[in-house]
Amino acid sequence: MTEIAASPAAAGGGRLGRLTAGPRPTFEDSDALTRRRYAKEARLKALGMGAIGTAMALLALLLYSIVSQGYSAFWQTYVRLDVPLDAQVIDPQGTRDPAQIARADTGTLVSRAVYELFPEVTDRQGRRLLRGIVSGPSAQAEVRRRLAEDPGLVGQTVPVWVLADDEVDQFVKGKVDREAAEADRRLTDQAIGWIDRLRDQDRLERRFNWPFFATGDSREPELAGIRGALMGSFYMMLVTLLVSVPVGIGAAVYLEEFAPKNRLTDLIEVNVNNLAAVPSIVFGLLGLAVFLNTFGMPRSAPLVGGLTLALLVLPTIVVATRAAFRAVPPSIRQAALGIGASKMQTIAHHILPLALPGILTGTIIGMAHALGETAPLLMIGMKAFIVDVPGGPLDPAAALPVQIYIWSDSPERAFAEKTSAAIIVLLLFLVAMNAIAVLLRKRFERRW
């Protein structure tokens, strides 16, 4: 009996004794522990919300900075001139030959129209400043266009709306301080007085800047557009899509479904995953060495840019495709094989359709990544000054990110405005591509 009575005491020194040793916690202690745990969770939640709020604030600041500087580039100032289409200048022979009219000295006609607006200006220096109010090349091209459309205008005086010079345009938009010292701005006080007179005579008008989307690059800020860069980016993305998607999906299918598991495939998988993190300029060096130096492809062509960007996008597509294949339930594969389908039939008719949302998402995100790349294109020489709009992937062209880079290096104030406008266009394309990726995922996604 003594031993039996002692056993509970002996057990008290064991696990049960340890649990009951010391003062027992009270309800107040439990409440304090709960409050401290909730306080830690609240602090962690506050830190997370603060991080998200900081990121959103910085993003909003960035977007505000870009939009506030670039939105005005979508409008352009025009000046109305009454151009005398002197027959002695345009068609002295009176033949009304379109070829002869096309060779007419329209610059002289535009200069006369500007001089007639300010007849009191007779000195050479003043008239040189007067000619700088309008964009000379744009005005001459507009007069030629009007004559080509209607040769019967020869001998008449016709009103023509022409682009204003970039400095005049910036002043009308309020980006030049008229109160600043004359030495601190490019427009003289006399030129500002001429602009005020034109405004009082209703000869100034702001219109939507269609030439920004319809023309290529130019040395004159008021004439520079993004159409050449847009077409260059389009041809590059087309080449990138045609090369990277079939190769990337095919490589992913082989590695995931057919490749034997050995050291070689393990090495390939590691390298593919690492290539997704390689700096983009390395791919530019690879494109320079392979496509230009080895194969002698044309420099500054969208074909070379597209092939280089395809190398950049390939790892992303391979990784995304393999992840999409792994997300398909194994029961789908086992069921298809169980009813007699071959492995290729299982992949083509069952796994690939179910993995399509992930594949499309990875492909579009990879293409969006390629659209915004600049460093690889600079390495293969796609930073040349290209005025003409490319007609195919073999024609010299710029790309939209490279065009932004070129304009950002220009000293004119109007180019800074157009740089921000081009960034807005690029961001809109990127947002659209990501939105398409989300929509495609929702459209083809299947739940199991």
| Beta strands 75-84; 204-208: pairing state | antiparallel
Domains delineated in the chain: 71-209 (no CATH), 227-444 (1.10.3720.10)
Q: How far apart are CA 339 and CA 332, in angstroms?
A: 11
94's torsion region: left (phi>0), alpha (psi -120 to 50) or beta?
left
Q: Residue for token digits 């392979």?
A: 290
pTM: 0.83
CA-derived radius of gyration, the chain:
35
Q: How far apart are CA 242 and CA 233, in angstroms?
A: 14
Q: How many other β-carbons are positioned within 10 Å of the β-carbon of residue 124?
A: 8
Instruction: Tokens for 156, please give them.
Output: 């008449």
End-to-end Cα separation, the chain, in angstroms = 66
pLDDT at 330: 87
For residue 298, what are the contacts with CB-CB under 8 A and spacing of at least 6? 304, 394, 396
353 pLDDT higher than 90 = no
Q: How far apart are CA 244 and CA 309, in angstroms?
A: 9
pLDDT at 7: 45
pLDDT at 22: 57
Instruction: Tokens for 235, please give them.
Output: 């041809």
40-76 confidence digits (pLDDT tens): 899 999 999 999 999 999 999 999 999 998 899 999 9
Backbone angles phi, psi at 163, to 5 degrees: -65, 140
Of these ranges, 136-140, 238-242, 269-273, the one predicted with the greatest mean pLDDT is 238-242
pLDDT confidence band for 25 (50 / 70 / 90) = low
231-244 confidence digits (pLDDT tens): 999 999 999 999 99
Segments in 254-351 forming alpha helices (H): 263-275, 280-287, 302-327, 330-338, 343-346
Q: How far apart are CA 147 and CA 125, in angstroms?
A: 30
Position 282: which residue type? Answer: V
8 pLDDT higher than 60 = no
pLDDT at 21: 52
pLDDT at 296: 87
pLDDT confidence band for 105 (50 / 70 / 90) = confident
Helix (H) or strand (E) holding 234: helix 227-253
pLDDT confidence band for 306 (50 / 70 / 90) = very high
